[in-house]
Amino acid sequence: MVDPSIVAASALHGLATGAVYALVALGLSLVYGVLHIVNFAHGSLLMLALYGVYFLHERLGLDPYLALPVLLPVAGLAGYALHRWVIAPAGGARDENVLLVTLGLALVLENLALVAFRSDTRTIETAYSFSMVALGPALLPLPKLVALLGSLVATLVLWAIVQKTDLGRAIRAVAREREAARLVGIDTRHAFALAFAIGTASSAVAACLLLPSYYVSPQVGHGFVLIAFTIVVLGGMGSFWGAFWGGLLIGVVESLGGLFLGESLGQIGIFAIFIAVLLFRPTGLLGRPL
Amino acid sequence: MTTGDRSVREGWRRRALLATAASGAGLLAAPAVLRAQPAAVKIGLLHPVTGFLAFSGQQCREGALLAIESINATGGIRALGGAKLEPVLGDAQSKPEIGAAEVEKMNESGVAAIVGAYSSAISLATTQSAARYGIPHIVDVGVSDQIVGRGLTNTFRFCPGYGVITEIAIANLVALNEAAGKPARSVMIVHEESLFGTGTAQLLQKELPTRGFEVLEVVKHANPTRDFTNIVLKMKSLDPDLVIPANYYNEYVLLARTMRQQGVRPKGIYSVLGGAASSFKFVAEFPDDAAYIMDCNHWYDPRKPAALELRRKVEAKGLYYTYEVFLAHEAVRLLADALERAGSANRERIVEALATSDWDGHFLPYGPTRFVNGQNQGARPLNTQVLGRNIEVIFPREFATAQPVFPMPRA
């Protein structure tokens, strides 16, 4: 019944959405891998970054993509400061406390945003918002294509940082064995905060790529954090490429689900896969066996 | 937000002025001043001015405030010794439960009546809350027929409900299609998820097959939706002759733009209460996407000078003359007329006056008001089409300002 070119277009579309999901999930996964906590404030930080992009565009006329060089260091520093001087001291030594602190932080940030920005849904209009790119038989909106490519580049950069730099090695060492890392001279508090900073910065990248084709409201983070959490579990907790492939898969499943089952039932596919993975492969698609 | 601040400021300024005038004149003749300044009548204006309905809610508020301004400027309520109307502003934040909470606040501040609340879902909640205190509530836009079908004696709706609108829309669609040689046979309905969209879609889905149309697909979407690609891709594969959208402004615009972007061009886009289809804002901002879209919606009688006068006034303020503006404007004037008839700001007296009202001083194509169970019987929509960067009335004949163009040109 449905034309294959339409299925292809929908899948491509889902791939673009999925790439951004993956980027958000990678930030969450990195923080989980190192700190062993689910950062509930991740969605709220994404929301703040989206507002950052929005106001840079509305007040200063800065293109959302050009906002990246401004927002990236700000988000990184904010993430660092947030972990070093708020989350870590408030959480103490126990992981459960840190978990609760991030949950509290999410509530505070979201309600502050409600007070400051009201509950309005805001969007921006750029010259290219409705430009289309023909990829074979399918038409993809330009912002979606940029989001797809941008997320892929950001993912590679993130992978390179974690795998190839001293910083990445320090973070991985801390993730693997906290005490031993400290004994060989790694400043663990610094490494934790850096991991959090990178996680926050990846949300800022996602925000810049998202806003031209999306909206911002104080509650916008909810949808993302739920999906990102699903992706992290699906891919295998803490697995880098697991989160990446999980993100793409979820994006495509959501899009095709929307096409065949209708917009309101589109997300059923995501959670059906999620439950199936939990049943048959509890460590996730690319997770290490327990 | 800004309107709220301004009206609060103006309220203060006016109060300060009154206080100064009263204290100055009071030295000379205090009783005369008291007679000359009857107590203002507080009117609750309750709209979703923030949240996803913010644009429409703000438009309603603007229209209502303009009406109050002009009533006050021309001598206030004569039957009450020239009493001025004092707006008490409320924000439902696009949520029914907040709307209901705002009614509580308005009750405490002593409003004589409430005009609101734009959306069906919010109006359903606010009329019910107002009923508890016997506050007369004029529904300015909310089209769900449940609003007036519950036996609430305080609730009055000036404009038509979706039952009547859908019925007229289908009759006019059939006439339009027959006049063009029946080019349209298949239909796809795209509607938003709340009371208004779902209710309208259900009525269409039931009625259209009996009039010779095949409903290929009915698609529901969330508010807000920032991506219509999937829905439009589905549209592309089904290739309906007609697309009928029933959604609010933002989603309507995005749907129309995505359709053009993906090269989907049905024989007609015919909306029932299309959120943007007969909006000057849409036509001004995206003329190419809006071209030839037809709508069956609230509209003013284009032959009445007062309607065109208000349009000039609204546009001079840098605003768009959308249906929200003129419906809320006329709803406030209906209330003012009821205050004149009642000769009192007492809630019960206002309800009685509204129930027996036969007001014909408005500029809507309704005829004199006659309320049965709270619904104005003469209320009806008009059919419009975006032609040459303007919105023209194409149906019914006695109001028409242009001939319909259907099917719409391909290029």
Residue A120 has pLDDT above 90, yes or no: no
Q: Tell me the chain B residues in contact with residue A3 when contact means C-beta distances shorter than 8 Å.
A: 236-237
**Cβ <8 Å between A263 and B51:** no
- The stretch B161-178 carries a mean pLDDT of 93
Q: Which of A6, A119, A214 sits opposite B237 (nearest CB)?
A: A6
Residue B34 has pLDDT above 60, yes or no: no
Question: Which of A6, A125, A132, A209 to mutate to test binding with chain B, by most B CBs within 10 Å of its CB?
Answer: A6
The predicted structure's pLDDT at residue A63: 94
Residue B14 has pLDDT above 60, yes or no: no
Does residue B146 contact residue B125 with C-beta atoms inside 8 Å?
A: no
Do B115 and B144 sit in the same domain of this protein?
Answer: yes
The predicted structure's pLDDT at residue B262: 86
Do B73 and B183 sit in the same domain of this protein?
Answer: no
Question: CA–CA separation, B140 vs B143, rounded Å?
Answer: 9
- The stretch B348-360 carries a mean pLDDT of 96
Nearest CA in chain B to A132: B261
Q: Which residue has the higher pLDDT, B168 or A98?
A: B168
Give the CATH number for residue B209. 3.40.50.2300
CA distance to partner chain A, nearest, from residue B364 (Å): 31
Residue B409 inside a domain? The answer is: no
Q: Tell me the chain A residues in contact with residue B54 when contact means C-beta distances shorter than 8 Å.
A: 120
Residue B344 inside a domain? The answer is: yes
**Cβ <8 Å between B236 and A6:** yes
The predicted structure's pLDDT at residue A2: 67
Q: Which of B54, B193, B261 sits opposite A264 (nearest CB)?
A: B193
Do B331 and B348 sit in the same domain of this protein?
Answer: yes
Residue B27 has pLDDT above 80, yes or no: no
A258 touches chain B (CB under 8 A): yes
Do B172 and B284 sit in the same domain of this protein?
Answer: yes
- The stretch B365-376 carries a mean pLDDT of 95
Q: For B123-154, what is each residue's pLDDT tens digit?
A: 999 999 999 999 999 999 999 999 998 999 99
Question: CA–CA separation, B328 vs B378, rounded Å?
Answer: 17
**Cβ <8 Å between B237 and A3:** yes
B279-289 residues labelled b (16+ CB within 10 A) or e (exposed): bbbbbeebeeb
Residue B393 token pair: 């009335």
Nearest CA in chain B to A7: B233
CA distance to partner chain B, nearest, from residue A277 (Å): 26
Element (H, E) at B102: helix B96-108
Number of structural domains, chain B?
A: 2
The predicted structure's pLDDT at residue B36: 59
Residue A169 has pLDDT above 70, yes or no: yes
Nearest CA in chain A to B48: A120
The predicted structure's pLDDT at residue B6: 46
Do B276 and B179 sit in the same domain of this protein?
Answer: yes
Residue B262 inside a domain? The answer is: yes
- DSSP string of A143-211? HHHHHHHHHHHHHHHHHHHHHHSHHHHHHHHHHH-HHHHHHTT--HHHHHHHHHHHHHHHHHHHHHHHG
Do B386 and B370 sit in the same domain of this protein?
Answer: no
The predicted structure's pLDDT at residue B31: 46
CA atoms within 13 A on the CB side of B205: 17
ipTM of the complex: 0.76
Q: Tell me the chain A residues in contact with residue B224 when contact means C-beta distances shorter than 8 Å.
A: 121, 215, 217
Nearest CA in chain A to B258: A130
Q: Which of B227, B229, B237 sits opposite A2 (nearest CB)?
A: B237
Question: CA–CA separation, B85 vs B42, rounded Å?
Answer: 6
CA-CA-CA-CA dihedral for A142, A147, A153, A155, to nearest 10: -160
- Give the mean pLDDT of chain B: 89
The predicted structure's pLDDT at residue A288: 65
Question: CA–CA separation, B375 vs B377, rounded Å?
Answer: 6
Residue B128 token pair: 């019910």
Residue B23 has pLDDT above 60, yes or no: no
Instruction: Give the confidence band of B3 by pLDDT, cuts at 50, 70, 90.
Output: very low
A61 touches chain B (CB under 8 A): no
Residue B16 has pLDDT above 80, yes or no: no
Question: CA–CA separation, A78 vs B300, rounded Å?
Answer: 54
**Cβ <8 Å between B224 and A213:** no
Residue B175 inside a domain? The answer is: yes
Q: Tell me the chain A residues in contact with residue B193 when contact means C-beta distances shorter than 8 Å.
A: 264
Does residue A178 contact residue A45 with C-beta atoms inside 8 Å?
A: no
Q: Which residue has the higher pLDDT, A160 or A33?
A: A160
Nearest CA in chain A to B255: A130
Instruction: Give the confidence band of B12 by pLDDT, cuts at 50, 70, 90.
Output: very low
Instruction: Give the confidence band of B5 by pLDDT, cuts at 50, 70, 90.
Output: very low
Around Cβ B398, how many Cβ atoms within 10 Å? 9
- The stretch B257-265 carries a mean pLDDT of 89
Do B369 and B387 sit in the same domain of this protein?
Answer: no
Residue B275 inside a domain? The answer is: yes
**Cβ <8 Å between B229 and A9:** yes
- The stretch A162-182 carries a mean pLDDT of 90
Do B199 and B331 sit in the same domain of this protein?
Answer: no
The predicted structure's pLDDT at residue B32: 45
| Domain carrying residue B102 | 38-160+303-376
Question: CA–CA separation, B197 vs B13, rounded Å?
Answer: 42
Residue B25 has pLDDT above 70, yes or no: no
Give the SS3 label for residue B241.
Answer: coil
Please provide the distance, in angstroms rounded to a whole number, between the alpha carbons at the two ends of chain A: 44
Task: Tell me the percentage of chain B whose pLDDT exceeds 70.
Answer: 91
The predicted structure's pLDDT at residue A259: 84
Cα torsion B301, B304, B306, B307: sign: positive
Helices (H), chain A: 4-35, 42-60, 68-82, 88-91, 95-117, 142-164, 166-176, 178-183, 188-210, 220-235, 240-261, 268-280
Give the SS3 label for residue B410.
Answer: coil
Q: Measure the CA angle with vertex B287, ends B281 and B161; round to 5°.
A: 50
**Cβ <8 Å between B237 and A215:** no
Residue B337 has pLDDT above 70, yes or no: yes
Question: CA–CA separation, A41 vs A105, rounded Å?
Answer: 6
CA distance to partner chain A, nearest, from residue B99 (Å): 14
Do B220 and B351 sit in the same domain of this protein?
Answer: no
Residue B49 inside a domain? The answer is: yes
CB pairs under 8 A between A and B: 70
Do B266 and B389 sit in the same domain of this protein?
Answer: yes
- Chain centroid offset of residue B199 CA: 17
Question: Which of B191, B229, B231 to mutate to test binding with chain A, by most A CBs within 10 Å of its CB?
Answer: B229
Nearest CA in chain A to B57: A120
For the ranges A12-16, A162-166, B115-119, B223-227, the lowest mean pLDDT is seen at B223-227
Q: Which of B51, B225, B237 sits opposite A119 (nearest CB)?
A: B51
Residue B35 has pLDDT above 70, yes or no: no
| Identity at B356, one-letter amino acid code | T
The predicted structure's pLDDT at residue B2: 40
Helix (H) and strand (E) counts for chain B?
13, 14
- Which of A84-98, B24-38, B305-319 ranks highest by mean pLDDT? B305-319
Residue B11 inside a domain? The answer is: no
Instruction: Give the confidence band of B230 by pLDDT, cuts at 50, 70, 90.
Output: confident
Does residue B49 contact residue B65 with C-beta atoms inside 8 Å?
A: no
CA distance to partner chain A, nearest, from residue B191 (Å): 11
Do B103 and B233 sit in the same domain of this protein?
Answer: no
**Cβ <8 Å between B229 and A3:** no
Q: Which of B54, B233, B261 sits opposite A6 (nearest CB)?
A: B233
Around Cβ A173, how many Cβ atoms within 10 Å? 18
Give the SS3 label for residue B394.
Answer: strand
Question: CA–CA separation, B410 vs B266, rounded Å?
Answer: 9
Give residue B98's region: left, alpha or beta (phi > 0; psi -120 to 50): alpha
Q: Which of B230, B262, B263 sits opposite A263 (nearest CB)?
A: B230
Residue A287 has pLDDT above 80, yes or no: no
Q: Which of A215, A217, A262 sits opposite B219 (nearest CB)?
A: A262
The predicted structure's pLDDT at residue B194: 85
- The stretch B242-261 carries a mean pLDDT of 90
Residue B28 inside a domain? The answer is: no
The predicted structure's pLDDT at residue A129: 80
Interface of A with B in 11-30 (CB under 8 A): 13
Do B278 and B185 sit in the same domain of this protein?
Answer: yes
Q: For B205-216, what is each residue's pLDDT tens digit?
A: 999 999 999 999
The predicted structure's pLDDT at residue B1: 37
Interface of B with A in 210-229 (CB under 8 A): 219-222, 224-227, 229
Q: Which residue has the higher pLDDT, A152 or A136?
A: A152
B231 touches chain A (CB under 8 A): yes
Bridge partner list, B220:
B191
Q: Tell me the chain B residues in contact with residue A214 when contact means C-beta distances shorter than 8 Å.
A: 226-227
Residue B29 has pLDDT above 90, yes or no: no
